[in-house]
Structure 1
């Protein structure tokens, strides 16, 4: 079965909310973030290419793979407007510097933080179909326009700079991965831009629950057998809502980084997974319910530690 190995990530420097450009530093505004557990974000002076190259190099070095055994690189980003992607040969340069000159390069842009999930799904299919190793890389650089984002008009969120990488392979992966369960509902964009916050939250909870149910049913796994839940760095309140709505104890939702760090679209799931592994939280045989959401895309899979 295909899976992932040698996860690595690179984040920017930890910075307090008060250092965010254009941030309203009034007590009232800062309280809105802190109530939800967000204390800091990660900003980097490195370019998106530099972040991607650094994490990809580390993954390849940790894997010890012969470069010729890597048949493809799947690259994901939510920052599709980044000048580097348009003004420089991002793909050719990355492949050359990684020593992967004969590998295929595929760029994936789906929607925000679902991009890396789509890339992982496609990389798994490619690895399985071709019997090869695949390098997955995802990077996001938010400081082109500042860490403050407004996906929903009137609602402020925070993003962090970072990049993640791993090897997707069918050859003794560290974590096996089941086929993805997915759901698309593009009609929710009307809720987003109509500022229907309650409707958007209801849509998110309902659709996420449906995807989670599909993952469990496909793997014949009762909720009681789930050891961990790994997802994006939502604010504290949303995580608690998911726990209640999915009927899974909140203690199983991983939250190692305290104070909480603002969401990194490049791949919170991979960041949190590696933090769990490093901290010794994951044991052999553990079932890890893994969920990647975006405003109108929901994707889930089950990882098992080998």
Structure 2
């Protein structure tokens, strides 16, 4: 399956896929005991069964993922120039939001970077897209290495449901069950990697943030617009993808996403929805890692990754080497 966006521009590799999750617990054990049975039934009907529940903090999950990335890639940590760390867990490591950004960066450096010989790497946090952070991280990483600013960038997404009042795993609209997880990879012009990383296109909607409960139709129309805008901007054939990966949402939502992206629904990879729930921005990298390790992506296959946040949508195309 060929696509023109891979013919031009620098050869940017993506490899060293690693991830860390918690224990997969049945959703009825992962949620508070007062969660309505009706909500649990709806979630099960939408494909959810278990949920990743970790005792570790997001940074501790990230440390495990990064260790796997470096081991899988066989990369000397000294060759990593920068780290882009996506997270919407601002409460970070036991501190309630908004917390102190300096403390958060210090924590990440201490728990994630320094133990793995990455203390020299330039650390930048990425957070505005929330569950869509992986799209932002990959977009920034590709721009940095393609322009020659850096040669190798470590990309990380790490989140967990905060132990704070008002936070919950089971979304009341039954669109997903929130789980805990982290994923990482290397984006590089020096390390070929298992995939060639194409461009990421993103679209954000400022009005989406202002929409309130009861304005579901307007929200839906913004989502439709966001995905369609991204798909139109991505220079690929209509039927050019072996797989489509997305955040772990309900089956009806993902089926609509596939339609909007112009990908047949049977090419959606959904195996981890029942196993992990929605591990925030880590979902697509987790899925890409599992497909690759399982030998389910052939050389030359193109994979489309849809990353979505509350008001941001992104599409990234990768090709297996």
Equivalent residues in 2 for 1:252-267 (5 A)?
Answer: 252-257=267-272, 259-267=274-282
Structure 2 match to 1:225? 240
Asked if 1:203 corresponds to 2:218, the answer is: no
Structure 2 match to 1:187? 207
Q: Which of 73, 80, 96 is the equivalent residue of 1:63? A: 73
Structure 1 match to 2:299? 284
Residue 95 of structure 1: CA displacement?
2.4
Structure 2 match to 1:241? 256
Residue 187 of structure 1: CA displacement?
0.5
Mark the CA change 1:23 to 1:209 in structure 2 (over 3 Å): closer, same or farther: farther
Structure 1 match to 2:197? 177
Structure 1 match to 2:284? 269
Asked if 1:99 corresponds to 2:128, the answer is: no
Partners of 1:170 and 1:197 in 2: CA distance: 43
1:292 alignment partner, SS class: strand
Mark the CA change 1:143 to 1:16 in structure 2 (over 3 Å): closer, same or farther: farther
Gaps of 5+ in 1: none
Asked if 1:139 corresponds to 2:158, the answer is: yes
Mark the CA change 1:258 to 1:22 in structure 2 (over 3 Å): closer, same or farther: closer
1:259 alignment partner, SS class: helix
Partners of 2:133 and 2:88 in 1: CA distance: 6
Structure 1 match to 2:182? 163
Partners of 1:111 and 1:246 in 2: CA distance: 19
Partners of 1:26 and 1:254 in 2: CA distance: 29
Residue 3 of structure 1: CA displacement?
2.7
Mark the CA change 1:25 to 1:245 in structure 2 (over 3 Å): closer, same or farther: same
1:75 alignment partner, SS class: strand
Q: Which of 47, 67, 71 is the equivalent residue of 1:37? A: 47
Residue 32 of structure 1: CA displacement?
1.4
Contact 1:231 1:290 survives alignment (8 Å): yes
Partners of 1:79 and 1:149 in 2: CA distance: 17
Partners of 1:22 and 1:224 in 2: CA distance: 43
1:211 alignment partner, SS class: helix
Structure 2 match to 1:80? 90
Asked if 1:112 corresponds to 2:122, the answer is: no
Contact 1:163 1:267 survives alignment (8 Å): yes
Structure 2 match to 1:28? 38
Residue 28 of structure 1: CA displacement?
2.0
Partners of 1:260 and 1:65 in 2: CA distance: 30
Mark the CA change 1:26 to 1:131 in structure 2 (over 3 Å): closer, same or farther: closer
Contact 1:77 1:116 survives alignment (8 Å): no
How many residue pairs get aligned? The number is 298
Structure 1 match to 2:107? 90
Partners of 2:273 and 2:32 in 1: CA distance: 24
Structure 2 match to 1:148? 169
1:285 alignment partner, SS class: coil
Residue 148 of structure 1: CA displacement?
2.3
Higher fraction of strand: 1
1:283 alignment partner, SS class: coil
2:49 alignment partner, SS class: strand
Structure 1 match to 2:140? 122
**Offset from partner CA, 1:230-284 (integer Å, 9 cap, x none):** 1111111101222334442111111223635311114110011111112221000
Partners of 2:297 and 2:115 in 1: CA distance: 33
User: Normalization by structure 2: what TM-score?
Assistant: 0.86
Structure 1 match to 2:316? 301
Partners of 2:87 and 2:59 in 1: CA distance: 11
